[in-house]
Structure 1
Amino acid sequence: MVLDWVTVILLIGIGLVLIIVELIFIPGTTIVGVLGFALAAIGIWIGYVALGTTIGHIVLALSVLASGVAVFYSFRNDAWSRFALKGSISGKVNDDVLHTLHVGDTGKTVSALRPQGTAIFQEQHFEVQTQGEFIDSNAAIRIITLTANKIIVEEIS
């Protein structure tokens, strides 16, 4: 009888710990959360089978209560905010040096443009794109459009 109680408490406890680990440290549906849910469910099932229906109901109610309290306190104590991304990237591609380029300037591709890639103009690297065609690396290109931090180029034949 004591062994049944210890088994039920350990299975449910380990299951709840694994579920909390899944929620806090390993977000997403992974094996840890599924294993935790399975262990908690097996613990509750053993509570019904080995200890009787009345005790099984009590074990189920306490398990639901314990998991609810754990989730409530983890939100209340703001434990999850330590793992949240708070920073943001405010920079833009080609933002600070775009004014030095002009339509018709020529340059050379550093990477293949499929249809986007890197090119060199005035000894500086820029992110450029084509109008849909592919251009190999080390090809001569010309700027045909400059709009809103986009540099549209074409290959020079």
Structure 2
Amino acid sequence: MLLDWVTVILLIVIGLILIIVELVFIPGTTLIGILGFVLAGIGIWIGYAALGTTTGHVILGLSVLTAGVAFFYSFRTDAWSRFALKETIDSRVNEDYQHNLQIGETGLTVSALRPQGTALFNDQHHEVQTNGEFIDPNTTVRITKLSQHKIIVEAVS
């Protein structure tokens, strides 16, 4: 009976520790976290199988309560702040930039346009897009529409 309790407690504690290790120290591997969930689940299952339904319910409730308190406490103590992005982006789009392209001008695609990509006009690379069609690299294209931030092209046949 005592060995059952020790086994259940150890499995659940080790499972919770592995889940915390997954979240805090080695995020993204998921193997450690899955192993932690499996060990905690086995501990709860052994609690039901060896100690009875009522005791299993108590063990399950205490496990969920402990995990909930730990989760709540981690937000209250700002434990997650070291994972938060603290830098701000100060850069802006150059709104004053005016490209010197004209409608009808031809150029050559550098990348595949699916439907966006890069094309070369007057020895300068420009980000362009099509009206939905796909255009292969090294294809001659013609500008059909210009706006301040968009260059719409079509393949020259």
- TM-score (ref. length: structure 2): 0.72
Inter-partner Cα distance in structure 2 for 1:123 and 1:97: 17
Contiguous gaps of at least 5 residues in structure 2: none
Secondary structure at 2:80 match in 1: helix
Deviation at 1:31, TM superposition (A): 5.4
Answering whether residue 144 of structure 2 is matched by residue 118 of structure 1, we say: no
Partner of 2:8: 8
Listed as ranges, the gaps of 5+ residues in structure 1 are: none
Q: Is the 8 A contact 2:109 2:139 kept in 1?
A: yes
The alpha carbon displacement at 1:140 in A equals: 2.2
Q: Which residues in structure 2 correspond to 1:6-155 (within 5 Å)?
A: 6-21=6-21, 25-26=27-28, 32-51=32-51, 55-85=55-85, 97-155=97-155
Query: Once the 2 structures are TM-superposed, how far is the Cα of residue 50 of structure 1 from its aligned partner?
Result: 3.5
Asked if the contact 2:129/2:152 (under 8 Å) is kept, the reply is: yes
SS of corresponding position for 1:102 = coil
Query: Cα deviation per residue 1:60-116 (whole Å; 9 max; x = unaligned)?
Result: 343222111210112112223433456677666x96744332323322111232332
Q: Distance in 2 between matches of 1:148 and 1:36?
A: 54
RMSD over aligned Cα, in angstroms? 3.2
Amino acid at match of 2:123: E
Q: Which moved more, 1:80-89 or 1:138-147?
A: 80-89
Q: Distance in 1 between matches of 2:3 and 2:22?
A: 28
What SS class does the counterpart of residue 112 from structure 1 fall into?
Answer: coil
- Relative distance call for 1:10 and 1:96 in structure 2 (3 A) is farther
* TM-score, length basis structure 1: 0.72
| Number of residue pairs aligned between Structure 1 and Structure 2 | 154
AA aligned to 1:138 is N
What per-residue deviation string (whole Å, max 9, x for no partner) do you get for residues 34-68 of structure 1? 44333223212323444456654543343222111
**Secondary structure at the counterpart of residue 99 of structure 1:** coil
Does the Cα contact within 8 Å between 2:98 and 2:148 map onto a contact in 1? no
Using the TM superposition, name which of 71-80 and 97-106 deviates more.
Answer: 97-106
Runs (4+) off by over 6 Å:
none
Q: CA deviation at 1:23?
A: 5.0
- Cα distance change of structure 1 residues 13 and 106 upon mapping to structure 2, 3 Å threshold: same
